[in-house]
Amino acid sequence: MFSLKGKSAVITGGGSGIGKAIAVLFAKQGAKVYILELNEQSAKQAVAEINQFGEAQAFSCDVSKQDQVLATFSKIGKVDILVNNAGIAHIGNLEKTAEADFEKVYQVNVKGAYNCLYAAIPLMKKSGGGAVLNMASIASVVGIADRFAYSMSKGAIYAMSMSVARDFITDGIRSNSISPARVHTPFVDGFIAKSYPDNQEEMFEKLSKSQPIGRMAKPEEIAALALYLCSDEAGFITGNDYPIDGGFIKLNN
């Protein structure tokens, strides 16, 4: 079950964290993985790891630049699966979100996903269908303190996922999104070290306990859900968002 043999999978931000976990698992299941990354070094490291057991290729690409994205997808040629995972965070409420901060988050998180969709959908139509998976967040459906710009961007991801599902269902293209709560990634460790250098363990525990289940998710747990949604076994699933949140949305009231 859940074989991706013969499929071509594009994963943005696949050099670390959730994106890397998805890239590794998809390759293990037989997909040819294409990692689009701004961080060339992390992309090369991920590809080297994957190529020990599977097949992967890295492209240095700024997803916010449409010309770069179109050129990259043109090189790839065939796209069966697109995982829009690349994204950045911003901490601050409305009053603490400068125009430059808002614009930066929009360019990467929203326009970046749009650019990849814009490039991938025609290729999927040409080959008879495909699966789109966009990385949203619990912040797209509930209010998270001091995450104004980030929440905006993830709300847009959710909306784009549903729109693509509606518009291209007759082309054999499925589109869904995943909404994780906090996931333990190098980004989280770096954020805690930078923001709370004197009480890192305490803050890690506090952030972990904000999920009712009592811990953060593992990147591999997000990847497992991604695999299902992009596999043929999920062929009847489109136009849905899947919280993977340790009970955050339903049990935090």
Out of 150, 158, 196, 228, the active site residue is 150
Residue 169 amino acid letter:
I
Q: Is 114 a catalytic residue?
A: no
Q: Where in the chain is the domain with CATH 3.40.50.720?
A: 8-181+219-245
Domain 8-181+219-245: which CATH number of 3.60.120.10, 3.40.50.720, 3.60.10.10, 3.30.70.980: 3.40.50.720
d(C-alpha 92, C-alpha 148), whole Å: 6
Cβ contact 55:83 at 8 Å? no
- The helix-helix angle for 200-209 and 186-195 (nearest 10°) equals 130
pLDDT tens for the chain, residues 1 to 253: 999 999 999 999 999 999 999 999 999 999 999 999 999 899 999 999 999 999 999 999 999 999 999 999 999 999 999 999 999 999 999 999 999 999 999 999 999 999 999 999 999 999 999 999 999 999 999 999 999 999 999 999 999 999 999 999 999 999 999 999 999 998 888 888 888 889 999 999 999 999 999 999 999 999 999 999 999 999 999 999 999 999 999 998 6
Q: Which residues of 62-77 are buried (b: 16+ CB within 10 A; e: fewer)?
A: bbbebebbeebbeebe
d(C-alpha 207, C-alpha 157), whole Å: 24
β pairing state of 130-135 and 55-60? unpaired
d(C-alpha 73, C-alpha 151), whole Å: 28
